[in-house]
Amino acid sequence: MNSENMSSLRQHYMAQTRERILDAAMAALQKESLEALTIAQVAKDAGITDRTIYRHFQTREDLLKAVWGRMQSRVGLGGYPQTVEALLAAPGALFPRFAAQEGAVRASMYSAAGREVRASANLARHQSMQACVAEALPERIARARRILRMRARRDNQQRATNGGGRDGLRHIRGQKVPHHLETVSRSQEAIK
């Protein structure tokens, strides 16, 4: 057997081992809590050694991140809805699948690795929701953008006449307003 075939066989075997590890971890999360999940238990369930798991995943958290990816593919989380119809259909399609993977879903919600995976998708999730809202309420989005542009122009003019708020306050309508409170107020008004 030449070295090319041997390398291909080795890669195939490594991929199979990784799948066994992930399957064992998913099965363990269906039976036990996240806290009870150990590398030793996953190794035992997969029929391999702890050391073999560490060849594939340096830490328990790395294993959990891979488990979340596996869980997402099992429940069909291929991406976020881009239309109102897809957004409305998503819960009916996803929730039964979440129920079938209850242990892994629950673990993904309450672990640091799960939070990290969800946080890494925040931008995509936010953009998806914006697209759905823009489709459903285009006049509101256009109005909110116009209001924000007008306020930005007004604020720039006021800053120019009031010295730019060097004291940490903005002077609006004759009152000193902290920058962060003004931003919250503008955001709330733009959404109305």
Percent of the chain that is helix, strand, coil (3-state, to 5): 75, 5, 20
For residue 154, give the amino acid letter: R
| DSSP code at position 37 | -
Q: Strand 175-178 vs strand 169-172: parallel, antiparallel, or unpaired?
A: antiparallel
- The fraction of the chain above a pLDDT of 70, given in percent, is 81
**185 CB-near residues (< 8 Å, 6+ apart):** 177
55 token code pair: 């060849």
Cα 74 from Cα 55, distance rounded (Å): 24
Report whether 71 contacts 105 (CB < 8 A). Answer: yes
pLDDT digits 0-9 by tens, 106-151: 877 887 777 877 788 888 888 888 888 888 888 887 888 888 889 8
Distance between CA atoms of residues 146 and 152, nearest Å: 10
Task: Give residue 72's pLDDT.
Answer: 79
Burial of 113 (0-12, 13-18, 19+ CB in 10 A): buried
- Give pLDDT tens digits for 49-88: 999 999 999 998 889 888 887 887 878 777 788 888 888 8
Instruction: Show the tokens assigned to 141.
Output: 């989005």
Q: Which residues contact 63 (CB under 8 A, 6 or more apart)?
A: 21, 25, 39, 42, 53, 56, 57
Domain boundaries, the chain: 7-134, 137-191
7-134, which class in CATH? mainly alpha
